[in-house]
Amino acid sequence: MRLITVAGPPSCGKTSVLLRTCAALKKKGVACAVIKFDCLQTRDNLAYHDADIPATAVLSGGLCPDHFFATNLEETFEWAKNTGAECCVIETAGLCNRCSPHLRGALGLCVIDNLMGIDAPQKIGPMLKLADLVLVTKGDLVSQAEREVYRHRIRQMNSRAIIRHINGLTGQGCQELATVLAMAPDIVSVTDMRLRFAMPAAVCSYCLSETRIGSRYQKGNVKKAEFGDAHVV
Amino acid sequence: MSSDMTTLDSLTVTAGSDKSGNSACHDIIFTPGEITALLGPTGSGKSRFLSDIESLADNDTPSGRKILLNETPPDPDQRFELQGRLVAQLTQNMNFVLDMAVDDFILTHAKSREVPTPEETTEKVIAAANDLAGEPFAPRTQLTQLSGGQSRALMIADAALLSWSPVLLIDEIENAGVDKLRALDLLVKSDKIVVIATHDPVLALSATRRLVFEHGAVHAVLSRTQEEQDILARLTDLENTFSHVRSQLRLGKPLTIGER
């Protein structure tokens, strides 16, 4: 089964793009299954169901969503296999931007939109830096020069990814994307695969539901900040 | 890549289909140095036509159109490489969203377009924009603080002077208080394929030919008749009178009958 990870900040258009793209794949005779990893709530799985695409949403709740993603990947892959799909598409909500769900040997996509600030490509970090394909949405809402400058900034962060403009609302570019997804590497099992980027370390007292503030409540992996001198103008 | 694109002799938009899915009649061929005006009521499909060209549509947009370069469909690699670069576009979306100063923005754009002398080009673009806009702005002004007219003027100057794109698409140039005839003059000098969607009679008649849209497709292709040529001369005259009166009023000068 082909495996594709799709990451990007909230509301950048991941689901719209994937809906169109999976529908285009289905037309080509390639069945997809979509798993949405999210934190609190999502109705995206219903949108996929409406388009007759097998989909499920899983919520991390109080856990770090990226750890939740990694610890459930084998089961995710099995679930997708059981739907009879040829393409397993994993959509993650792209949460603290410290992580990247992309795996070595699988196809990794990052979606960002043209309405974010000019420094967004830097802030998004590993999920953009380590993506194979960067999809830029909402280009119809800005000037061409802005699109080009933004693209330039993306290129500075990721020199090797293919960068495409895409529109999840009109479907422009989705058919092309479907062609690329249909060529994603075929994978037998995710066991022993490796993430492209390490997860953030945690396991402090707050991970274990501590809510009180104060040094005496802090145990485990605690990092103290260095604040430096105040700059007085 | 820029040198390759100077060899663009023609760009063809295949007919595609209208909003009901019926096949449209006209393939449209564009060649450099001509201006084509797109006419038709709001919603008749002008913007769709422009965005099909911009995205090098390949039967993957609602209109089902395809774009051919020099009579040949671009292969996927060429298409991706050219995406957003073959065509310089001025759209109705003229509100900048990026948090940058004007000079940083134009300089970054010049660098991303691999302009040989980015600093010099930036100065030229800003000067030309200030020439077109009603009120001038400083190079360090934030993009988001520009008025509608200033944004528009900046984009027109950027498209004319900075980008090598052989095709220039303009959507509703008249809407934002720039001197449209001078803007058109600046653009025509750049020897590009110029396509303008417009409701403005002077701009429409200034074009080499006019495409009339209906229900999402090209309904008629018209060229200027001798009679229309005369009408254009009269309208241009009126236009000049209007802008003269406007500037006199702005300056607080009294108007006299017979003055021009």
Residues A69-98 have pLDDT tens digits of: 999 999 999 999 999 999 999 998 766 788
In B62-91, the residues whose Cβ lies within 8 Å of chain A are 62, 76, 80, 83-85, 87-91
ipTM of the assembly?
0.70
B89–A148 C-beta distance less than 8 A: no
> How many helices (H) and strands (E) would you count in chain B?
9, 9
The answer to whether A110 and A8 have CB atoms below 8 angstroms apart is yes
Q: Judge whether residue A28 has pLDDT over 60.
A: yes
A147–B62 C-beta distance less than 8 A: no
- What order of strands is seen across the sheet that includes strand A133-137? A55-59, A32-38, A87-92, A2-7, A107-113, A133-137, A162-165
A165–B55 C-beta distance less than 8 A: yes
d(CA A33, CA A142): 33
B112–A164 C-beta distance less than 8 A: no
In A5-64, the residues whose Cβ lies within 8 Å of chain B are none
Q: Report the predicted TM-score, pTM, of the whole model to 2 decimal places.
A: 0.78
Q: Which two tokens stand for residue B219?
A: 């309904």
The answer to whether B31 and B10 have CB atoms below 8 angstroms apart is yes
Q: Judge whether residue A199 has pLDDT over 90.
A: no
Residue of chain B with shortest Cα separation from A24: B60
Q: Judge whether residue B3 has pLDDT over 60.
A: no
Which of A145, A164, A171 has its CB closest to that of B155? A145
Cβ atoms < 10 Å from Cβ of A158: 18
The answer to whether B85 and B109 have CB atoms below 8 angstroms apart is no
Q: Answer with the residue of higher pLDDT: A111 or A204.
A: A111
pLDDT confidence of residue B135: 82
A183 touches chain B (CB under 8 A): no
Residue of chain A with shortest Cα separation from B76: A176
Residue A82: HSE in the Cβ half-sphere, 13 Å Cα cutoff: 9
Which of B54, B97, B112 has its CB closest to that of A142? B97
Angle at B206 between CA B205 and CA B208, to 5 degrees: 95
* Average pLDDT value for chain B: 85
Spell out where A39-143 has E strands. Answer: 55-59, 87-92, 107-113, 133-137
Residue pairs spanning A and B at CB distance below 8 A: 89
